[in-house]
Amino acid sequence: MKKIPILLYLLLSVFLTLAQPTEKHIKVQVSADHPDWLYKPGEKVNFSVLVSKNGSPIPQVKIRYEIGPEKQDPWKKETQVLANGSLQVDGGTLSAAGFLRCVVIAEVEGKEYRNLATVGFSPNLLQATVANPTDFDAFWDKAKQDLAKIPLDAKMTLMPERCTEKTNVYHVNIQNYRLGARLYGILCVPKKPGKYPALLHVPGAGVRPYSGDITNAEKGIITLQIGIHGIPVNLDPSVYTDLGAGILNGYPTYNMDDKDRFFYKRVYMGCVRANDFLTSLPQFDGQNLAVTGGSQGGALSIITAALDNRVKFLGAYYPALSDVTGYLYNRAGGWPHYFDKNSRAVNETKAKLETIAYYDVVNFARRLKVPGFYSWGFNDETCPPTSMYAAYNVISATKELYLALDTGHWNYPEQVEKMTNWLTSNLIK
């Protein structure tokens, strides 16, 4: 099989994890009249719209806009021609905690340009909707006990083409939740003899190869970046494209009607098993272990830290799988939107509702005991802020939230810098 250059792996990994929208010549700016985009229930919001080219407003530009609670049907839709390229829009208000969104589409030279702004109404008061099973802890204790009976059977293959002067890089595979099931990842270990902290990277949704976190390994941290699908993570990218469009298309719903066979059980146990491997390494310092990721990986960061008391810190970007039942209460629920208007008829069954309560991030967030750093934006249309706040608000452990208000399902470099600095400062003391 043709080898893929390391630079391609690195670029692919960065793009998939942190991709920002491409800059466009025509810009649609949507903003709110409170600089922090925060309001109290009953307080009126005004949105500002500006359509520009080369930094100047475009005269006689046609727009259409809609306003309503995020991920719900809009209550206001209008089309206007803006004489001077700008508009002030009365957004109304919300009577209770939640998020209100204004989406604007401008038509310029036969093309459409879209942007949005989302404001929060006392989001710190949002309460979770998902049930909290009485036997939640017993269920996961049993799962971990079953996992502990499975031999680790770790295999490490050095990847000389990826090693650096300071770091050894390995493709690793270990036995996961049952005999014969494997978990794959990229391990980066400092070459200099010594004891080091460890950082587990858990993945966002999708099917892809991984490159490993060499950058933090160069700082003196053992890093492990894992996949969740039980397939090697160093294959040609076309393999993952085929799997993602084929047998793994729709994997978040597999066996959702059975809490013991639901797809994410093997995933959650795989994260614990990855920590079994990390803490078994002779180079591990025996104490300092953190976990981080975004989206599905943000969810897995919270879940892993709640399940595994060896984890001392967590960093989560826009966590998915949070309060997914929100749609059943006429508000946004978390990715993968099991109960939105497109999926509710299929998924709103007693068995599936029972299953999801054991897997929702909210119920793991309730049980967190370690410090965490969190970051997201209000314009996220994949992981709605309503769902993320529902999870964040139940956390009683030390927590810090860094908001980049206008971001969607992506990060600014400043967010990544703050997250990385927080993690490394806690791991390297």
The catalytic residue positions are: 295, 380, 409
- Please identify which residue in the block is written with the tokens 């475009």: 58
Peptide bond into 35 cis (omega under 30): no
Q: b/e for 126-136, b at 16 or more Cβ within 10 A?
A: bebbbbeeeeb
CA 316 – CA 365 distance, rounded (Å) = 12
Q: Name the region of 210 (left: φ>0; alpha: ψ -120 to 50; beta: rest).
A: beta
Nearest in space to 40 (alpha carbons), one of 93, 112, 105, 117? 93
- Reduce the DSSP state of residue 240 to 3 states and report it: helix
CA 212 – CA 161 distance, rounded (Å) = 13
Nearest in space to 294 (alpha carbons), one of 7, 14, 11? 14
Helix 263-280 with 296-307: angle, nearest 10 deg: 60
Q: What DSSP designation does 225 have?
A: E
Residue 392 tokens, joined: 């964040």
Peptide bond into 336 cis (omega under 30): yes
CA angle, corner 238, sides to 237 and 239, nearest 5?
A: 90
CA 123 – CA 390 distance, rounded (Å) = 8
Q: Name the region of 411 (left: φ>0; alpha: ψ -120 to 50; beta: rest).
A: beta
Q: What DSSP designation does 266 have?
A: H
CA 425 – CA 429 distance, rounded (Å) = 7
- Please identify which residue in the block is written with the tokens 């927590």: 399
- The separation between the first and the last C-alpha atoms of the chain, rounded to the nearest angstrom, is 43
Cβ-Cβ contacts under 8 Å for 103 (sequence gap 6 or more) = 30, 65, 66, 67, 74, 114, 115, 116
Cβ-Cβ contacts under 8 Å for 355 (sequence gap 6 or more) = 256, 257, 258, 259, 262
